[in-house]
Amino acid sequence: MTHQPKSVSPEMIEVVNGPEEIAKTGKRCVMTRRQFLLTSGISTFTVMVALKSGPSSAKVPAMVSTYERKFICKLSDLKEDEPLDFTYPDEGAYAESMIVKLGKEAGGGIGAEKDIVAFNYTCTHQGGPLQGTYQKGDKALGPCPLHLTTFDLTRHGIFISGQAYQSLPQVLLEVDGDDVYAVGMFGLIYGRYDNLKG
């Protein structure tokens, strides 16, 4: 199912930006995030994602897709600034991704400190591989080995510098006890016309 609602539901605002946005809008979410995702199934929305850090409160458009959840790792296995690799949403081309505990609150972050995020490893410019480029000082991925783009992992993967003009696709995460699951994507993976079709 694919559709683009005229306005963003409070449930999806909470999925993307956390409960603070709900508090700001004065609307209460009647479903848990898990219930929402289960009810929504595989679907795609365009939402305005708040950049939660930085000098302004700017919002950027992002395509959010929810898929069946996939176990990624144990929460207790994550160590600060030590990325773990995984593939999502499948095992196909450009599915290589990473999860990292930044030690700093981030947009879309999960865990007690909201600092655990996950991103696709493929540069949105021309598909350069970003594996091994995590910078703990800047909480960033890059520079890309092809044309030097660097992406800010605290702000939904927005580019900091370089040739790319699209944010790095962010993997939507969910915690269930000590288990961390991938449940969707913000943005389109490089080289795919649909995230589920490599």
Q: Does 157 bind ligand FES (CB under 6 A)?
A: no
The answer for residues whose C-beta is within 8 angstroms of residue 174's C-beta and 6 or more apart is 33, 34, 37, 69, 110, 180, 181, 182, 183
Are 154 and 52 within 8 A, CB to CB?
yes
Of 110 and 168, CB closest to ligand FES:
168
What span, in angstroms and rounded, lies between the C-alpha atoms of 48 and 172? 15
Q: Does 146 bind ligand FES (CB under 6 A)?
A: yes
Q: Does 128 bind ligand FES (CB under 6 A)?
A: yes
Of 129 and 198, CB closest to ligand FES:
129
Q: Does 163 bind ligand FES (CB under 6 A)?
A: yes
From the list 52, 69, 101, 125, the catalytic residue is: 125
User: How would DSSP label each residue in 107-146?
Assistant: TT-BTTTT-EEEEESB-TTT--B-TT-EETTTTEE---TT
The interface region with ligand FES, picked from 4-12, 34-42, 111-119, 157-165 by CB under 6 A, is 157-165
Of 148 and 175, CB closest to ligand FES:
148
Of 43 and 166, CB closest to ligand FES:
166
What span, in angstroms and rounded, lies between the C-alpha atoms of 186 and 146? 23
The interface region with ligand FES, picked from 48-56, 88-96, 107-115, 126-134 by CB under 6 A, is 126-134
Comparing CA positions, the residue from 24, 37, 9, 44 lying closest to residue 169 is: 44
* Residues noted as catalytic: 125, 147
What residues make contact with ligand FES under the rule CB under 6 A? 123, 125-128, 144, 146-149, 162-164
